[in-house]
């Protein structure tokens, strides 16, 4: 199922912000670039999609996260490019349910390559939350209203970071800390919006999960 226009997506550390933006990245507070470590598992390779570079490995408050996959969101039959998203995990996986259930630290990095209005952003998030909160999941209406009120318009070059821990999701946009989602169901649904049963597009889901077309 393809929705209409997509959403956007932990304060960011200050000193590295300028250099990070040169490669199209805004990282959560305490995020530091780290060289790919040696060891078993999926090869740690940088990714470049639609001109957006994603580093192979990030270190988040002592947790090493590896790039699991990258997806390009397109819209309409004209395949307008909207954003590029990268999913980082402690343990790379292509099993969406296992990722959503896991208490590991996860990070979703989104960079917009096209403008999206405030109305379009909020509509996309509203539809996504409704579709991906599958029973027994239940989201409190007041939490949804509060969350949607914080969703801004996005412009080409804007960046959003969602940092997931066991029960929370911390959100930042262009270096500004938007807030923290503390309800576990809500936090899980935010990530399910991208890799769950009803993603923005199947291509985005496959890309983030590292599943070849």
Does the structure show a pLDDT above 50 at 41?
no
For residue 64, name the pLDDT band (cuts at 50, 70, 90): very high
Q: Residue 17 has what pLDDT?
A: 36
Does the structure show a pLDDT above 50 at 23?
no
73-98 pLDDT, tens digit each: 999 888 999 999 999 999 999 999 99
- Alpha-carbon distance of 40 to 201, in angstroms, equals 31
Tokens of 72: 């390009």
Q: Residue 94 has what pLDDT?
A: 97
Residue with tokens 């996260």, as numbered in its chain: 65
Other CB atoms within 10 A of residue 101 CB? 10
For residue 46, name the pLDDT band (cuts at 50, 70, 90): low
Which has more confidence, 18 or 55? 55
For residue 213, name the pLDDT band (cuts at 50, 70, 90): confident
Q: Residue 192 has what pLDDT?
A: 97
Angle at 91 between CA 100 and CA 176, to 5 degrees: 65
Q: Residue 18 has what pLDDT?
A: 38
Residues 6+ apart with CB under 8 A from 211: 69, 94, 205
Which has more confidence, 201 or 10? 201
- Give the residue extent of every domain in the chain: 17-209
Q: Residue 45 has what pLDDT?
A: 54
Which has more confidence, 24 or 158? 158
User: What three-state secondary structure class fits 179?
Assistant: strand
Which range among 30-44, 67-81, 124-138 shows the weakest confidence by mean pLDDT?
A: 30-44
Q: Residue 48 has what pLDDT?
A: 83
Residue 101: in which H helix or E strand, if any? helix 96-101
Question: If one looks up domain 17-209 in CATH, what number appears?
Answer: 3.50.70.10
């Amino acid at each position: 199922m393809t929705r209409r226009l997509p959403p956007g997506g932990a304060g960011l550390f200050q000193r590295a912000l300028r250099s990070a933006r040169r490669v199209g990245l805004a990282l959560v507070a305490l995020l530091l670039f780290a060289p790919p470590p040696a060891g078993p598992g999926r090869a740690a390779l940088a990714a470049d999609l639609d001109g957006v570079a994603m580093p192979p490995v990030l270190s988040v408050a002592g947790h090493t996260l590896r790039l699991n996959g990258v997806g390009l969101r397109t819209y309409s039959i004209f395949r307008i490019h909207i954003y590029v998203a990268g999913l980082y995990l402690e343990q790379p996986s292509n099993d969406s349910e296992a990722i959503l259930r896991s208490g590991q630290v996860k990070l979703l990095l989104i960079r917009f390559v096209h403008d999206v209005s405030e109305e379009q952003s909020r509509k996309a998030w509203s539809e996504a939350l409704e579709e991906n909160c599958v029973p027994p999941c239940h989201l409190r209406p007041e939490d949804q209203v509060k969350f949607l009120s914080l969703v801004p318009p996005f412009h080409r070059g804007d960046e959003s970071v969602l940092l997931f821990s066991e029960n929370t999701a911390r959100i930042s946009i262009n270096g500004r800390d938007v807030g923290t989602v503390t309800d576990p169901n809500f936090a899980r649904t935010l990530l399910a919006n991208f890799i769950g049963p009803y993603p923005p597009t199947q291509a985005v889901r496959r890309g983030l999960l590292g599943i070849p077309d």
